[in-house]
């Protein structure tokens, strides 16, 4: 998908909902409603309620039962779905553009007119508890949740998005209604559309289906996270492999250092097979199959982490090699040639990601929610070209400082 600034139109409806229209000429359209409410907004609420609510959006409205909601888009070959993250909930759909009215109607209906039937709550509670239990069968997922809880101790960013079995068992209809009333604010929503319908026609449809939604701007401001304390914890478990997470707090979405750190993290352990972690540990020694570095930014901070799994006999050696790679980036400047190759690589990855229209839908919506704009590829390329080796080394010494690193290890019992 070619994302050019002149193809992007944005405006506000009278209730505060922001609308973003991106025109492309393919027959399949994508539309999503980004709600600035997630698990970090559960302060004073039962943990897991944001995710529980997302499930309940599909369980009945004032005019539709569950079966009508689930078949409304599927019966014309499209998709209707949603997911919950730490800071947002995203309701989205893809469809042949001739069904645009059907798509907008169902999205508005489930988001703003769900009635949370008690019978459906009980049924979905069992589904979520089962989801929670199966989720814990994967040690990488389980330790990721524990790592969050330890890194963001005492703050809702550390909440497990699914909640806990105990909290999910206690969530009721009144809890869901209260959470919607406080967090589903129309001035913190973005309706984003990518498709062939013209901006003029789409505006008429957006007004028809979403401008009539009652304005809701009541909101308690989020509490910024502070007070990170590095930790080291080892846990013995019955499993085949050993797993390790090494990480630190990073730069938030609004930080000027975010893009340089994206580049640095890509050099260290990005998806490319030529990342330093992959080439200098996995390929050179064969100690581990899974080894990568992730960077998850939030509004005011981020989580950066390296994940690896290996046999218990290679665990200490692999961890030592990871620290060695981090030290290299702290101590040795990246050469001009290496930096040039790294910039070309990440530019190519961004171009490839830009072709994923479904993925871009969320990226565009989130960018307009936070910044009221979206960076086009040419603009991003200009910013990447300006990144220097000294900037990357400075960032490496801030984020990869061993005194600031936390470590969580799941070791299989000997």
Q: Tens of pLDDT along 310-363?
A: 999 999 999 999 999 999 999 999 999 999 999 999 999 999 999 999 999 999
Paired sense of beta strands 232-237 and 406-412, if any: parallel
CA nearest neighbour of 323 among 387, 410, 239, 402:
402
348 CB neighbour count, 10 Å cutoff: 11
Q: How deeply is 111 buried, as exposed, middle or buried, from its count of CB atoms within 10 A (0-12, 13-18, 19+)?
A: buried
Encoding tokens for residue 285?
A: 């020694």
Contacts of 42 (CB under 8 A, 6+ apart): 48, 49, 50, 156, 159, 179
Global pTM reads 0.94
Paired sense of beta strands 189-195 and 18-23, if any: parallel
Beta-bridge partners for 408 = 233, 245
Express each pLDDT in 62-91 by its tens digit.
Answer: 999 999 999 999 999 999 999 999 999 999
pLDDT at 47: 94
Residue 85 to residue 67: CA distance in whole angstroms: 26
Domains belonging to the chain, first-starting first, are 5-210 (3.30.830.10), 232-412 (3.30.830.10)
Q: Residue 60 in contact with residue 115, Cβ under 8 Å?
A: yes
Paired sense of beta strands 288-297 and 302-310, if any: antiparallel
Rg (CA), the chain: 23
pLDDT at 238: 83
Residue 292 to residue 356: CA distance in whole angstroms: 22
pLDDT at 138: 80
Give me the residues of the chain with pLDDT under 70, please: 1-6, 136, 414
94 membership: H or E segment, kind and range:
strand 89-96
| CA end-to-end span of the chain | 51
């Amino acid at each position: 998908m070619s994302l050019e600034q002149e193809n992007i139109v944005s405006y506000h409806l009278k209730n505060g909902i922001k609308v973003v229209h991106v025109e492309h000429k393919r027959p399949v359209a994508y539309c999503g409603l980004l709600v600035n409410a997630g698990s970090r907004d559960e302060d004073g609420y039962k943990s897991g309620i944001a995710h529980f609510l997302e499930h309940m959006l599909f369980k009945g409205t004032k005019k539709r039962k569950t079966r009508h909601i689930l078949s409304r888009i599927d019966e014309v070959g499209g998709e209707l779905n949603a997911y919950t993250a730490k800071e947002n909930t995203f309701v989205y759909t893809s469809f042949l553009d001739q069904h645009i009215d059907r798509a907008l109607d169902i999205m508005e209906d489930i988001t703003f007119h769900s009635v949370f039937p008690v019978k459906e709550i009980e049924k979905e509670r069992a589904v979520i508890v089962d989801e929670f239990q199966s989720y814990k069968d994967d040690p990488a997922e389980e330790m990721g949740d524990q790592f969050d809880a330890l890194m963001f101790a005492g703050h809702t960013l550390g909440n497990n998005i699914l909640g806990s079995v105990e909290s999910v068992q206690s969530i009721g209809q009144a809890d869901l209604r209260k959470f919607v009333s406080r967090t589903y604010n129309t001035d913190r929503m973005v309706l984003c559309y990518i498709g062939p319908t013209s901006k003029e026609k789409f505006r008429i449809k957006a007004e028809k289906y979403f401008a009539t939604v009652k304005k809701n701007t009541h909101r308690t401001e989020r509490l910024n996270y502070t007070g990170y304390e590095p930790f080291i914890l080892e846990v013995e478990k019955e499993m085949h492999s050993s797993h390790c997470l090494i990480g630190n707090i990073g730069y938030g979405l609004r930080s000027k250092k975010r893009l340089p750190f994206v580049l640095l993290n890509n050099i260290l352990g990005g998806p490319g097979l030529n990342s330093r972690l992959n080439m200098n540990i996995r390929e050179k020694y064969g100690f581990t199959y899974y080894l990568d570095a992730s960077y998850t930014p939030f509004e005011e901070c981020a989580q950066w982490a390296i994940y690896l799994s290996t046999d218990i006999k290679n665990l200490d050696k692999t961890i030592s090699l990871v620290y060695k790679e981090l030290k290299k980036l702290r101590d040795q400047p990246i050469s001009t040639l290496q930096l040039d190759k790294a910039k070309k690589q990440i530019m190519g990855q961004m171009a490839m990601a830009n072709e994923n229209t479904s993925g871009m839908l969320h990226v565009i919506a989130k960018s307009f929610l936070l910044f009221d704009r979206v960076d086009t590829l040419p603009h991003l390329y200009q910013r990447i070209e300006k990144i220097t080796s000294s900037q990357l080394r400075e960032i490496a010494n801030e984020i990869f400082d061993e005194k600031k690193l936390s470590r969580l290890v799941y070791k299989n019992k000997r």
